[in-house]
Amino acid sequence: MIVLTSQQMREVERIAIEKMGIPSICLMENAGKEVACEVKRVMEENGLSSAVVIAGRGNNGGDGYVVARNLYNWGIDVKVFVIGSIGSISGDARVNLEAIRNLGIYVAEVTQKEHLKFLEKTLKDSDLVVDAIYGTGLRGEVTGLAKEVIELINQSEKFVVAVDIPSGLNADTGRVEGAAVKARITITMHFLKPGLLIYPGIEYAGEVKIADIGIPSRLAAEVRPSYHYVVPQDVALKSRNPDTHKGDYGKVLIVAGSRSMTGAAFMAAKSAVKTGSGLVRLAVPLSIQPVIQSALYEAIIYGLNEEGGVISYKSLSQILELIEQSDAVAIGPGLTHEGEVSKLIEDVIRNTEKPLVLDADALNALVGRLEVVKGKRVILTPHYGEMARLTGLKVEDIKNNIFEVARSFVRRYEVTLVLKGARTVIATRDGSIYINSTGNAGMATGGSGDVLTGMIVSLLGQGFEEEKAAVYGVFYHGKAGDVAKKSKGEYGMTAVDILESIPEALSEGLKG
């Protein structure tokens, strides 16, 4: 699903107005009418009878005036408060403001602190708030009266419907710019915005709905969208050809495990099997080979040279030989970073051109050695902590600017990046950003990342390009977590539950 930045959305609107000849006031009318219809539905379903529209001086405020006019025409008690001087409002917003004043709808200015008390009383006496203060054009931190108004809205604990984006939320990053409205529903115009799809934006937007405001959707291509929200129709799976054999579905190798972390190796290999690999090879330290073999019947288990239960550098030639027999390789789960593991991983990467998935301890091995992956067919799968170690950035700095951090990283190292989090973000070599839509809090459990590694390498082995393997793998990993949640709940879910739910998740993809 296409996602547009605030700048791209403005450009699409400009093209619609200037090249397609769609009057700007028609777009405002359509936007306000869509929001009004949703507000009316909410009020009827919840037995609410009065609303207050809080508007800014720009086009977002203009949308709010259209909302007020429609609510009034439907017999709903509505009042309007304008943050700023009414005399400063111009253009289409001014036309719609004059229309509601001519109808006799109550309109009040909020231009000084003394006006806040009456607004606070009105909020207390009203059932629902329409937030039309700022749209996607917000620049800089919210301060002054606008900030105090936003705080009053949140303190009122009323049902809030936001127009386009909650006021104070950065539409492109999801950051709160000083203060932001906490909405129950956000009606965004024609296309999703990145800031609505990641935290903390998700918490402020509530349920997000897309309003058709009369812009031809094909105009999005004119601005070359690079953001995508991954939904089921984007990752539909094809049924397999009946006339096939295991060789048609890829041979994958997973290098994983140590004496104290046999589970990580098992989880990664088993998930590759469950995701449909034709043949899975698992290379582990020799001492744990019997343990893994007794629990994992569907994979071929190889014992590697080791020192103290950890794969040793002496296994390099054996690993490279196994890689030559494989279509795709995953390295990292449970390896530890003891001994010469880091040097071993570096030299494995240097000596192969096969597609690689690097996770967990393989990522730790890359700290200070990242140039080795540049231009290789590599998928990196760090969580925020691992990404901080790789980049030298603080975790909070990554979270606050996740898209630019991911895109800059990929631009520099020419890899595919899967940045794992509550909303996993995939950045690809062509500059695209994919935001995943599946998954839940129950997946924050040990071994979940190992399952993802196995799924991605399985898809690589089956012939998926790196970008597609990453996007599909992340989506169906989250989908498996959602399936597991239905029977196990978020508290009791384990990585094994996610793993066992992979077949059902993939089956649902076939239905799509």
> Would the annotation count 308 as a binding residue?
no
CB-based contacts of 380: which residues, under 8 Å, 6+ apart? Answer: 358, 359, 363, 366, 373, 390, 415, 416, 417, 418
> Would the annotation count 468 as a binding residue?
no
> Would the annotation count 499 as a binding residue?
no
> Would the annotation count 64 as a binding residue?
no
Which secondary structure element, helix H or strand E, spans residue 269, and what is its range?
helix 262-274
> Would the annotation count 92 as a binding residue?
no
How many helices (H) and strands (E) in the chain? 19, 20
Residue 286 and residue 315 in contact, taking contact as beta carbons nearer than 8 Å = no
> Would the annotation count 4 as a binding residue?
no
> Would the annotation count 401 as a binding residue?
no
* Pairing outcome for strands 251-255 and 106-110: unpaired
> Would the annotation count 167 as a binding residue?
yes
> Would the annotation count 21 as a binding residue?
no
Does residue 200 have a cis bond before it (omega within 30 degrees)? yes
C-alpha distances (whole Å) from 100 to each of 64, 67, 400 are: 11, 10, 40
> Would the annotation count 60 as a binding residue?
yes
> Would the annotation count 136 as a binding residue?
yes
> Would the annotation count 450 as a binding residue?
yes
> Would the annotation count 347 as a binding residue?
no
> Would the annotation count 137 as a binding residue?
yes
Backbone angles phi, psi at 381, to 5 degrees: -125, 60
> Would the annotation count 424 as a binding residue?
yes
CA angle, corner 200, sides to 197 and 204, nearest 5? Answer: 85
Adjacent-strand bridge partners of 159 = 128
> Would the annotation count 352 as a binding residue?
no
> Would the annotation count 238 as a binding residue?
no
> Would the annotation count 246 as a binding residue?
no
The pair of structure tokens assigned to 391 is 């980049």
> Would the annotation count 420 as a binding residue?
yes
> Would the annotation count 164 as a binding residue?
yes
> Would the annotation count 369 as a binding residue?
no
341-350 vs 316-324: helix crossing angle, rounded to 10: 40
> Would the annotation count 96 as a binding residue?
no
> Would the annotation count 228 as a binding residue?
no
> Would the annotation count 94 as a binding residue?
no
> Would the annotation count 469 as a binding residue?
no
CA angle, corner 510, sides to 508 and 512, nearest 5? Answer: 75
Q: Residue positions in the annotated binding site for K(+)?
A: 60, 131, 167
Q: Residue positions in the annotated binding site?
A: 59-63, 131, 135-141, 164, 167, 264, 334, 383, 420-424, 449-450
Q: Residue positions in the annotated binding site for (6S)-NADPHX?
A: 59-63, 135-141, 164, 264, 334, 383, 450
Q: Residue positions in the annotated binding site for AMP?
A: 420-424, 449
